[in-house]
Structure 1
Amino acid sequence: MNLTLIGASTIADHHLRSAGSLRAIRNLIAEGKIGKALSLRVFHAVELPIHLQGWRLDNPVAGGGMIADLTVHNADTARFLLGEGPVSAVPHMDATGLGQGVEDSAMSVWVMPSGAMVFSHESFTHLFAASGLEVHGSEGSILVRSVLSQEPVGKIDLITAQRTARIEYDRSALYENVMRNFCVAMAGTAKPAASGRDGVKSLKIACAVRDAARTGQCQTVNYGETR
């Protein structure tokens, strides 16, 4: 498995790591602002834009289906924010209006090594919904709206016993950040925002979700040599 080549394609698929919003959320968690992280809810259930429809809705061989398109993003987001990857997944998937031979909606629950739980919701059919996430900890919560986007938008609220605070963050363009980080990594002066191993691990999580949904049985996520 050529992780260098996979890393080159990963910079596009895992652009959210370069969003100032997600970096701010990760810092809040790492700094202990919400205490011990207990659960993460990621909702990436939105409308698939017309210009992106096509093979995503009817061609599983080409990588069609919502799990291959969106669950990988949620998987990488969870790994990036919590610093660990799930060990098991229990999901359900369905075709609810757009999918033709592929799923267009799914929900799943993942368990992290630390015991934290992740709820992941993805869909192509939710015309009036917004993306976002919630991180709940022993001493606070982070409520986030509309940040799972290619644009540097959305709001972040940190809620603790003391107060509710709106968190400001870097709103520079995501893909400019992606390419800047990639060039710095290629120069050998920093690590890439997302490596080939990150790409493989997110794909393995998505595959476990799909296999569990197809079989109706909880699946262990096998990362193999990518650990």
Structure 2
Amino acid sequence: MDLEVPTAFDERDWERPVDGGPLRFAVVGLGWFGPDVAIPAIAESDYCETTTVVSGDRAKAERVADEKDVEHALTYDDFADGEAADAYDAVYVVTPNALHLPHVETAADLGKHVLCEKPLEATADRARQCVEACDEAGVELMTAYRMQTTRSVRWVRDTVQDGAIGDPVQVRGAFGYNLIAAGEDTDQWRLDPDLAGGGPLMDLGIYPLNTARFVLDSDPVAVHASTVEGPPEFDGLEKYCAFTMEFPDGPVAQCDTGYEVAGTNYFEVGGTRGRIRVDRPFDVDGDRRITVEQEGEETAVDVDEPSEMVEEFDYFATGVLTDMEIGPDGEHGHFDVRTTEAVYESAETGERVDL
């Protein structure tokens, strides 16, 4: 075996000098992820700070602002009216999927850069409108695929692109868990078709879908899929989805996701001369393990790396504060939502769907 797998990832391959800053954020959407994950990551970052929080509930906004020592607490209406707009430079949108567009449009109208959670919106048409709003305003729009800023996943991408495992032939990825067995409340927005735009595919399956695109540095040209409808609590949404993506020049990605399946969380690429697998790649700050197989020999290492949420915010800030091109941009996120719609179309018709 001639491929050495690092155990620690100490450098940002995108790092460059940053003048000015910090990039001041308004965090729009105060479910658990915003206050418990995003705001602490911003506080830990090198180039960012949270100056404003925005919620549909004024009391919640004020409580989070007090707990996190944030100066401004706004409602969605306050935000839309431009209140405290001088207090922030960028907006992080972390609301339910189908509520992204109005907040992205508000940010663009105010001349603020946008980091928007994945998927970019609940439908491809609304995702396209997000892209158009930011393009017309001349502001940056990044789709928040944290895996693309995760150092270990970037190493996998570079290793595959360097040809270390030969020509990529097959990608496999899965992300799912048993929502009901975990005791989660079924009265939540992820099980509301109007807010989520779909079931586990939109919430979890988007991770292996997008990571396949990132690692292969390519976009699929067709999909074929199957879904299994969930129980009544799922309001017509699927409980399981399996899909295949065909890429130019031969690679095929097989992905699956579900809300009623024992926990599954892995990503692997098989090539003509070897294979790379990452276990637990999609958890927030998960304990990842990378296994490389070449010529019958196998090496596995446990990964030591910083928080990918911190990396994501600092990456975005670096792009805004320097001349670094930001990816994944809005059009990248739009393509994923187009792909999920093709997956659902294929599952309904039983046919291969071209993209």
Q: CA deviation at 1:96?
A: 4.1
1:107 is matched with which residue: 231, 238, 242?
Answer: 242
8 Å contact from structure 1 (residues 67, 210) kept in 2: no
1:116 aligns with 2:116: no
Q: What's the counterpart of residue 40 of structure 1? A: 171
**CA offset at residue 111 of structure 1?**
0.6
Matches within 5 A, 1:198-217: 198-217=332-351
Amino acid paired to 1:60 = P
Aligned mates of 1:173, 1:75 — CA distance in 2: 22
In the aligned structure 2, how far is the partner of 1:75 from the partner of 1:52?
25
Deviation of 1:168 after TM superposition, in Å, equals 6.3
The equivalent residue for 1:31 is 162
Give 3-state SS (helix, strand or coil) of 2:143's partner: helix
Structure 1 position 138, deviation (Å): 0.2
| Cα deviation, residue 121, structure 1 | 0.5
| Aligned-partner residue type, residue 194 of structure 1 | P
In the alignment, which residue of structure 2 is the partner of 1:142?
A: 276
Deviates more, 1:156-165 or 1:79-88: 156-165
Greater RCO between the two (CA within 8 Å, min separation 6)?
1
State how far apart, in whole Å, the 2-side matches of 1:149 and 1:5 are.
Answer: 29
**For 2:187 and 2:301, how far apart are their aligned partners in 1?**
35
Hey, what's the Cα distance between the residues in 2 that align with 1:82 and 1:20? 16
Structure 2 vs 1, CA of residues 201 and 99 (structure 1 numbering), >3 Å: closer, same or farther? same
CA distance in 1, matches of 2:302, 2:205: 27
Q: CA RMSD in A?
A: 2.2
Q: Deviations over 1:31-87 (max 9, x none)?
A: 211100000001112234627961222x21112412222232222111100011111
Q: Note if contact 1:178-1:193 (Cα within 8 Å) is conserved in structure 2.
A: no
Q: Which has the greater radius of gyration?
A: 2
1:61 to 194, 214, 217: 194
Deviation digits for residues 186-218 of structure 1, max 9, x if unmatched?
113312242111111111111110111112221
**How do 1:71-110 and structure 2 match up within 5 A?**
71-97=205-231, 99-110=234-245
Once the two structures are overlaid, the 10-residue window that deviates more, 62-71 or 104-113, is 62-71
Contact 1:56–1:65 (CA under 8 A) maintained in structure 2: yes
Per the alignment, do residues 172 and 51 of structure 1 end up closer, same or farther by CA in structure 2, a change over 3 Å counting? farther
- Following TM superposition, by how much is the alpha carbon of 1:95 offset from its aligned partner in structure 2, in angstroms? 2.3
* 78-87 or 99-108, larger mean C-alpha shift: 99-108
**Gaps in structure 2 of 5+ consecutive residues:** 1-128
| Partner SS, residue 46 of structure 1 | strand
Percent same amino acid among aligned pairs? Answer: 20
Distance 1:162 1:108, change over 3 A: closer
> Is 1:21 paired with 2:21?
no
Higher mean C-alpha deviation, range 108-117 or range 93-102 = 93-102
